[in-house]
């Protein structure tokens, strides 16, 4: 026989109260599902980026605080948080881990590049580290050797002068295309930037550098991570004394730190241009590089320089032909050219210079030249 349960009046009243509380709790739970999801407890110093296609990314600095000294090893971690309603599953191209930064001013930028495929699966509200997204850097002054601890922890060397830096991780998620392991699509989610400071050392503050060595007619610009860029005119090679008018610019760099610094860069071929020309109104004047019309591979030569404190060198020279018609071929001449239009023009040169752990975008000041009527 099925058992029966009986309630008195008091018990029935209590049951009604419990039923009401249960309904209220159920309503609150339903509202919570539609409300903004609270972020999980953060592990490390950082924050989550905006939700994109059900996913949020966060870049976190595992170390305590935001101020560090030379020799400190910083650990960064890139994490994904599934805020969508469905399980997030894909074949993710693993990030390179200790990839070099690209620096512009005080902005350090990392960009994911895909390598081996790794499956990843996140259920609703699950948080996990991105494969290859954890990386370590050892802060060093320019020219200093990495301590044994850096190699033991698989930390790359990062040479930075004292100052405050912002790290951006752009396009970190590369998702494999089904049935095509050589292709990938970029997920739109990205983390918010994170900042840290490299503290100055007394030895550096006391150091007096010979920064004003005589280089006639060089216009020097801002210092980026201890490297200063300059620009000047270069004498025209006598062997190039042809009827075609040309102007030659020199991109200078000098070491503004108190240590010897090793840098490397890509040497430009004679048919390639690393500058920007604008007229007096700021409009870009097109420069044509004839070799860009040809297909196939081109040889890329890397050069390495060791700069003493305060030492300036010419990074490379860039030649610009001034012709009547930039699109008209010039026999045997593949130098970049610009159509002659009378007026005043400004030129800057840009090169990417590599030092340990960072690729610096070095931009010269403007130098002016005039094309007479």
| pLDDT tens string 164-219 | 999 998 888 888 888 887 788 999 999 999 999 999 865 443 333 444 555 668 99
Q: What DSSP assignment string belongs to 321-368?
A: EEES-TTS-BTTB-S-EEE--SEEEEEEEEEEEEETTEEEEEEPPPEE
CB 257 within 8 A of CB 278: no
Whole-angstrom Cα distance, residue 282 to residue 279? Answer: 5
Average pLDDT of the chain, as a whole number: 79
Inform me whether the pLDDT recorded for 125 exceeds 90.
yes
Structure tokens at 222: 């801002």
User: How many Å separate Cα 116 from the centre of its chain?
Assistant: 22
**DSSP designation for 347:** E
Q: State the pTM of this model.
A: 0.67
119/208 Cα distance (integer angstroms): 54
Give the model confidence (pLDDT) of 263-300 as tens digits: 999 888 777 899 999 998 999 999 988 765 554 445 56
Alpha carbon distance 195, 189 (integer Å)? 19
């Amino acid at each position: 026989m099925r058992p029966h349960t009986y309630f008195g009046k008091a018990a029935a009243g209590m049951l009604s109260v419990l039923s009401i509380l249960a309904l209220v709790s159920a309503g609150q739970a339903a509202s919570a599902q539609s409300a903004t999801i609270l972020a999980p407890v953060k592990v490390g110093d950082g924050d989550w980026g905006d939700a994109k296609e059900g996913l949020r990314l966060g870049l976190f600095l595992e170390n305590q605080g935001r101020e560090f000294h030379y020799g400190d090893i910083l650990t960064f971690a890139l994490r994904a948080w599934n805020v969508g309603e469905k399980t997030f599953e894909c074949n993710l191209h693993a990030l390179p881990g200790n990839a070099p930064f690209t620096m512009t001013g005080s902005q350090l930028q990392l960009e994911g590049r895909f390598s081996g495929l790794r499956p990843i699966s996140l259920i609703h509200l699950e948080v996990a580290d991105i494969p290859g997204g954890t990386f370590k850097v050892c802060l060093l002054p320019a020219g200093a050797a990495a301590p044994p601890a850096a190699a033991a922890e698989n930390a790359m060397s990062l040479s930075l002068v004292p100052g405050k830096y912002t790290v951006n991780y752009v396009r970190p998620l590369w998702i494999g295309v089904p049935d095509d392991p050589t292709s990938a699509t970029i997920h739109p989610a990205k983390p918010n930037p994170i900042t840290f400071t490299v503290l100055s050392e007394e030895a550096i503050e006391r150091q007096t550098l010979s920064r004003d060595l005589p280089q006639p007619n060089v216009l020097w610009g801002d210092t980026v991570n201890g490297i200063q860029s300059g620009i000047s005119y270069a004498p025209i090679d006598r062997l190039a004394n042809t009827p075609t008018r040309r102007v030659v610019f020199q991109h200078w760099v000098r070491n503004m730190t108190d240590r010897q610094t090793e840098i490397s860069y890509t040497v430009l071929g004679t048919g390639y241009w690393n500058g920007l020309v604008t007229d007096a109104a700021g409009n870009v004047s097109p420069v044509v590089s004839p070799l860009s019309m040809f297909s196939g591979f081109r040889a890329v030569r890397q050069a390495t320089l060791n700069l003493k404190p305060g030492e300036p060198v010419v990074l490379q020279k860039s030649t610009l032909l001034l012709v009547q018609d930039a699109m008209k071929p010039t026999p045997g001449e593949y130098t970049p050219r610009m159509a002659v239009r009378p007026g005043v023009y400004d030129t800057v040169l840009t090169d990417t210079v590599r030092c340990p752990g960072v690729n610096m975008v070095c931009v010269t000041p403007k130098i002016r030249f005039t094309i007479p009527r």
